[in-house]
Structure 1
Amino acid sequence: NKMAGLDIYYAGDPPYFASKLGWWRPFSPRFIRQQNLESMIFAPGNAVQIIALSEKQAALYRDFWRTEESRIHVVGPTLDPRRCRPELQAGDRNEIRDRFELPREAVIALSIANKLKVKGLDRAVKALQPFPGIHWLVAGFRKGSEEEIRLRGLIAKSGMSDRVTLLGIQEDIPAIVVASDFMLHAARLENTGTVILEALANGLPVIASDACGYAKYVEASGAGLVVANRDDPQIWRQAVQKAGDPAVRAQWHRAALAYGASNPLTGGLEAACDLIESLRRNRRVG
């Protein structure tokens, strides 16, 4: 989706160098080709106007390519209204847990992801391992996929198989959010992190890495913790231990509901469309 001759580029992904883990990547022909395409957009001196989805993403591009500040336009988030259903909190949570065959009495940590390493699921395994009273609910992996098989292997090796539920790909995100007690999103690389917004809007506390573009909303809401983007099991275990305290979770829950009610977390797409139209008019006038 990167090419020469563009007027506007909607940056839905992080920089290519950041998204490809592994020391050997810079030597691959594909990496070199993608870097060349990216340079046609982001390198200084180009005229392409760039729409970024978070300040974190914009900073990555600026730091690597030295892109001019005036060419990068950051728009806010767009939360699908269908994923925002805080009224479910007033219903019977046990009914939802029964539907997904989840233990009624356990503290449930939720992770929504489809890439094991990038989204930090290996970090989550190590973080949750010492807490037998916490059940881990994972959604987003296609059943039988290579990534799910690898995750199952990590779970089995950690001795957690009896307290993990892998739901596969789910559409009813509000329901599994309401069934959970906190979200654990330990991503190594996350352009935005829409799942963070979906959690907050439905009253679910969040533990997220500071790699996430939308981690700032966790801090702004006071509804969880933002953890350093490091492969240090201890810092993640400390965060999980804090989330295990019912009084702390209750405080975070109230903060999430209050923040979601006063901050609609929408309008990003409309802002992007307005920007595109404005740039088009200015180009026509010029």
Structure 2
Amino acid sequence: MNWPKFAGAQTPVMLNDQPDTDERPGDAQPFVLHVRTVTGFGGGPEKTILNSPRHLPVLGYRSSCAYLHPADDPGIDLLRQKAEDAGAELISVVDSGALDTSLVAKLAAVCQQRNVKIWHAHDDKTNLLGLLVRRRWPMKLVTTAHGWVSKSWKASLHQTVSRFCLRFYDMTIAVSPDIDDCLQAWGIDQKRRCLIENAIDTDAFRRRFTREEARDKLNLRTSGLVLAGLGRLEPEKGFDRLIAAVGDCVSRGIAVTLLIGGDGSELGSLRNQVARLGLADRVSLLGHLSDPRLLLQAADVFVLSSLREGLPNVVLEAMALETPVISTRVAGIPRLIESGEHGLLIDIGDHQQMVAAIGQLEADKEMRQLFALHARKRIEDRYDFKKRMQKVASVYDQVLSRGD
């Protein structure tokens, strides 16, 4: 069959190791600096971080995004483009690794130049850096806990660092109830944590093509049910389980095709699995997609096979684009999707349930259409990005003792 072609990574560029600035200290609105450590193309949090600054001025705040990245990382160029598209300023800060003692000075300079009032961290390293930079520049500390999904020793060490740091933060935002439960277990006081679930721009993620039109644009020629999967190719995403389920469906005579967008450490093993199961004409690994909207509009069903998550933006995006969802009952998903109403939920790691759910939606087009309509309304009612940013601005008000 003919597989679609997608744009991949951008050409690497040389990056400065000093942030530039055009700060005007007299500006009345308090300045929020979003700070994030990233390698490659980033992940789900980028959708929240880069889309935040354009929503803040009307809520009384100015904002920029400082990204810490390796000097030779080609992914930062694509993130720059995403920031430009989102109307956000991206401040590039070269990070030479764990022993880079210049980071605190660099970031303190950014904070002084921008007259930063709120440091908004988005990962374990920037949680620690916030405490160190505040010793040089007085400011309030806010962080968003996007989730801890990896179980490696390194990830466990980073999590331990955050567990220490968050006790000194003015507010920690959890993006799903299970993360909030984790923070509570860590002893983070209720007055210093809150739940603000992920959300998306419902205007940007609105269906603009029929499935047939989207497939034509992708040059996708296939019959049967088209499944889409998106995310980092890492063990916790469970793509091996999804591929195995597709293999089982094919062996049972269910006409199904799977397109997976993303890159990561599991790429080689997933390719081997596809070859071993004889699924080269049924499963395609597309690599990193800079914009997944066309793929989601081309798919009949989006499948989240994750073993661990927070509240993944990609599920919100699929629902907003009226693409029916099959998902594991992971983290914040059961709060988002009522099974049988907005999509189908399956138990984590249950192979037979995944196969059955795919077969059910393949056989019932009317159910797919119903899920699509209900899912879109769910996102509009409860997960609109503008409403989320109003809650975030209220957190900023609170930590600055404004709006009391």
TM-score band, normalised by shorter chain: 0.7 to 0.9
Aligned counterpart, 1:21: 151
Partners of 1:38 and 1:77 in 2: how far apart?
A: 20
Aligned counterpart, 2:164: 40
Work out which of the residue numbers 90, 94, 97 in structure 1 matches 2:215. Answer: 97
Note if contact 1:83-1:198 (Cα within 8 Å) is conserved in structure 2: no
Partners of 1:180 and 1:35 in 2: how far apart?
A: 36
Aligned counterpart, 1:84: 205
Query: How far did 1:131 drift?
Result: 1.7
Aligned counterpart, 1:75: 196
Residue 274 (structure 1) aligned with residue 403 (structure 2): no
Residue 232 (structure 1) aligned with residue 323 (structure 2): no
For residue 124 of structure 1, what is the amino acid of its counterpart?
Answer: L
**Structure 2 unaligned residues grouped into runs of 5+:** 1-125, 135-139
Larger helix proportion, structure 1 or 2? 1
Change in 2 beyond 3 A, CA 1:47/1:152: closer
Per-residue deviation, residues 144-174 of structure 1 (Å, max 9, x unmatched):
x643222211222222111112222223422
Change in 2 beyond 3 A, CA 1:165/1:227: same
Query: How far did 1:233 drift?
Result: 1.2
User: What SS does the corresponding residue of 1:281 show, helix, strand or coil?
Assistant: coil
Residue 157 (structure 1) aligned with residue 276 (structure 2): yes
Higher relative contact order (CA 8 A, sep 6+): 1
Aligned counterpart, 1:53: 175
Aligned counterpart, 1:223: 342
Query: How far did 1:82 drift?
Result: 5.9
Query: How far did 1:77 drift?
Result: 2.5
Change in 2 beyond 3 A, CA 1:61/1:158: farther
User: What SS does the corresponding residue of 1:105 show, helix, strand or coil?
Assistant: coil
Q: How many residues align?
A: 265
For residue 265 of structure 1, what is the amino acid of its counterpart?
Answer: D
Per-residue deviation, residues 32-70 of structure 1 (Å, max 9, x unmatched):
4x3542232346xx564211112122123323x133333
Per-residue deviation, residues 230-281 of structure 1 (Å, max 9, x unmatched):
x231122222222222232222123224434545522323422321222112
Residue 10 (structure 1) aligned with residue 143 (structure 2): yes
Partners of 1:259 and 1:39 in 2: how far apart?
A: 33
Aligned counterpart, 2:304: 185
Partners of 1:103 and 1:215 in 2: how far apart?
A: 34
Partners of 2:243 and 2:267 in 1: how far apart?
A: 13
User: What SS does the corresponding residue of 2:281 show, helix, strand or coil?
Assistant: helix
Aligned-pair Cα RMSD in Å: 2.8
User: What SS does the corresponding residue of 2:197 show, helix, strand or coil?
Assistant: coil
Note if contact 1:84-1:201 (Cα within 8 Å) is conserved in structure 2: yes
Partners of 1:214 and 1:8 in 2: how far apart?
A: 28
TM-score if structure 2 supplies the norm length? 0.59
Partners of 1:255 and 1:62 in 2: how far apart?
A: 33
For residue 13 of structure 1, what is the amino acid of its counterpart?
Answer: H
Per-residue deviation, residues 7-27 of structure 1 (Å, max 9, x unmatched):
533124324xxx3325xx2xx
Per-residue deviation, residues 184-211 of structure 1 (Å, max 9, x unmatched):
1011111111011101111111111222
TM-score if structure 1 supplies the norm length? 0.80
Aligned counterpart, 1:112: 230
Note if contact 1:221-1:255 (Cα within 8 Å) is conserved in structure 2: no
User: What SS does the corresponding residue of 2:273 show, helix, strand or coil?
Assistant: helix
Note if contact 1:76-1:265 (Cα within 8 Å) is conserved in structure 2: no
Query: How far did 1:134 drift?
Result: 0.7
- What fraction of aligned residue pairs are identical, expressed as a percent? 20
Partners of 1:220 and 1:276 in 2: how far apart?
A: 35
